[in-house]
Structure 1
Amino acid sequence: MTSRLTSELASRLATIALGHVTREYPNHILHGLEGPEDAKTPSELHPVFFGSYDWHSCVHGYWMLARLLRLHPEMPEAQAIRDLFATMLVPDRIAGECAYFDRPMARGYERPYGWGWLLKLAAELHGHEVPAWGAALSPLTERIVQRFRDFLPLATYPVRVGTHYNTAFALRLAADYTETVGDGTFFELLRATALRWYGSDTACPAWGEPSGDDFLSPALIEAECMRRLLPATEFARWFDAFLPDIATGEPRTLFAPASVSDRSDGKIAHLDGLSLSRAWCWSSLASTLPDTDPRRPVMIKAAHGHLKAGIAHVAGDYMGEHWLASFAVLALTETE
């Protein structure tokens, strides 16, 4: 186990993603049909993001490749990534993705998880070594930004599950995009929404964690969302009230990696992702605390334990392999 994204590990993770982002089958499509003409193959529906078993996993596979290429441009897989992007991240293919999102039945398509990851990809491509990649993606990026702008004022309540519908995770990813491109108005919408949804939360018991197919911790991703969106002093007050007993290892369920009984079962395999996303959250949250804070060593220990539990299983069975490496890169590279 490593706690760093070494060149060797970057190469291994890139190889995994290159093996699935253009692998069309098996494929899980969540697709609404308005008529028989809408019954099409994944690559007909999505000219770019048709691989990796499902649309959102393909998007964050591309994000991971872009991140790895930026951090380790010397790795052997770098040219294969460049060739992939030069072939796929082009205007005519992105136009096909836009056409899908323009369908009336696609109003809520991939909301909010896929939306967040698309903006995370856009942020990563912004200022990358080939500006044309991000420029080609921009029409789809603009559509997703508008979807957030339209949806958030209508969303009276957050969704607190540990799976794709979690709203805090989407806000957290979208915040990186707003900062990268300098969209302060969008950032303020995200912040106001987070405060409306989560601002009064205190003494989180985390009693429902982990659920049987979680890959996010509802408690920790909410805290990470608020860390990202609030000023430091305001977040510190909120965090003290939200998880007041961290120094004594409570709530206990947040500190123990989940047991994964069957990695060939796609839902149960989510729990490896839970370990990786918790590692990311614990590390990021610990970075806000001074070295003398008694919570800090407890949180860092939890981060290391979860990373060790999750990173060993990023490959092996396709039910996890098509997405887990992206969460490993989050855990290894997203700590402040």
Structure 2
Amino acid sequence: MKLRGEMAASFARLTLGHVGQRYPFKLDQVLSGPEDLVEPHLLHPIFHGSFDWHSCVHGWWQLLTIARLQPDLAETIEIRARADDMLVPEKVAGEVAYLARPYAAGFERPYGWAWALALHGEAVRHQAGWGAALEPLARAFAERFKKHLPKLTYPIRVGTHYNTAFALVLARDWAAAHDEALVKLIDERARRWYGEDRGCQAWEPGGDEFLSPALCEALLMSRVQGAQFAGWFEAFLPDAVSGSPATLFTPATVSDRSDGKIAHLDGLNLSRAWCWRSIAAALPTHPIAPVARTAAGDHLAASISHLADDYMGTHWLATFALLALTS
């Protein structure tokens, strides 16, 4: 399955209905006093209106990516107009200012940090002022990664927003073009944390996970290990070619898409599709490649038709569908 115009338009419509809108919203904000009890758009001039801050950030990444890949869509006109209004220096300054609050050191760590870098990386690919405007925010989060990673003794392996490997995939992709020192730090930490992992059991998914700890780790190591990745992968998932562990090849069942946590499992299917397709691309002549592509197709098919079933999915799932379709 590939990203086509009609599908891209539907993704864009889903997300344009949320980002930058006043309501509904959820804000995991830092409260340092009663003056902070204000509407989210006053604290976050850009990233509000999509239930949570990080969903709005990657919603913008999704919209700008669609605008680049499908420039002739009618929705692209609205995307560009909205970006011209929102992705401007004075509003970015408001987002950066929030990070200086006394208790904001852990705000959106590491998921939102990584998506902010990915958004900047996409913005600079457009002939507009969006990338230059967003750069101070991206640099602020890059510096946070540089301070945080050396003191993170152990990686976080859960399949939710705190997953270290997923964040470092996005951060490293950005840093490859914008921050060589961050690339070196990510590679050093990844090798330290994951380099000797062997025989992964892949006891997943948990009931509210939208990321695969095993496959996110493998995807990160495909970036870090280069030519040595095949050997690492064979030790990490020694029976993958035969479809084991079966948990990594079986799409998750989503029993209630109106439940925000259970709906995460649609995201798991989509993010696994992204991981499997990316791993196949990293090992194109390896026996795992056709197996990985089949697994990717199975996972994509399980959830791609459910993006608009309920708001608990519509405010974020299209991003992961886009990752899977463009990997």
Q: Shorter-chain TM-score: what band?
A: over 0.9
Contact 1:262 1:269 in 2 (8 A): yes
Describe the shift of the 1:194–1:319 C-alpha distance in structure 2 as closer, same or farther (beyond 3 A).
same
Aligned to 2:201: 205
SS of the counterpart of 2:65?
A: helix
Matches within 5 A, 1:245-260: 245-260=239-254
Contact 1:100 1:106 in 2 (8 A): yes
Aligned to 1:295: 288
Matches within 5 A, 1:234-249: 234-249=228-243
- Taking the aligned partners of 1:311 and 1:129, their CA distance within structure 2 comes to 31
- Taking the aligned partners of 1:248 and 1:88, their CA distance within structure 2 comes to 49
Alignment of 1:177 onto 2:174: yes
Matches within 5 A, 1:46-85: 46-85=44-83
Contact 1:276 1:331 in 2 (8 A): yes
Structure 1 residues 55-101: Cα deviation after superposition (integer angstroms, max 9, x where no partner): 00000000001110111111111110011101000111111101101
Matches within 5 A, 1:116-135: 116-130=114-128, 132-135=129-132
Report the alpha carbon displacement of residue 178 of structure 1 after superposing the two structures with TM.
1.1
Report the alpha carbon displacement of residue 296 of structure 1 after superposing the two structures with TM.
2.2
Match of 1:165 among 162, 185, 202: 162
Structure 1 length normalisation: TM-score?
Answer: 0.95
Contact 1:178 1:187 in 2 (8 A): yes
Contact 1:215 1:272 in 2 (8 A): yes
- Taking the aligned partners of 2:124 and 2:224, their CA distance within structure 1 comes to 20
Report the alpha carbon displacement of residue 276 of structure 1 after superposing the two structures with TM.
0.2
Report the alpha carbon displacement of residue 103 of structure 1 after superposing the two structures with TM.
0.8
Contact 1:49 1:59 in 2 (8 A): yes
Q: How many residues align?
A: 327
Ranges in structure 1 where 5+ consecutive residues have no aligned partner: none
Structure 1 residues 233-287: Cα deviation after superposition (integer angstroms, max 9, x where no partner): 2111111100110111100011111110110000000000000000000111012
Alignment of 1:150 onto 2:147: yes
Report the alpha carbon displacement of residue 51 of structure 1 after superposing the two structures with TM.
1.6
SS of the counterpart of 1:214?
A: coil
Ranges in structure 2 where 5+ consecutive residues have no aligned partner: none
What one-letter code is carried by the residue in structure 2 that aligns with 1:331?
A
Alignment of 1:331 onto 2:324: yes
What one-letter code is carried by the residue in structure 1 that aligns with 2:136?
P
Report the alpha carbon displacement of residue 180 of structure 1 after superposing the two structures with TM.
2.6
Report the alpha carbon displacement of residue 289 of structure 1 after superposing the two structures with TM.
2.5
Structure 2 length normalisation: TM-score?
Answer: 0.98
Report the alpha carbon displacement of residue 38 of structure 1 after superposing the two structures with TM.
1.3
Report the alpha carbon displacement of residue 127 of structure 1 after superposing the two structures with TM.
2.9
Moved over 6 A (4+): none
Report the alpha carbon displacement of residue 228 of structure 1 after superposing the two structures with TM.
1.5
Aligned to 1:37: 35
Contact 2:241 2:288 in 1 (8 A): yes
Contact 1:123 1:177 in 2 (8 A): yes
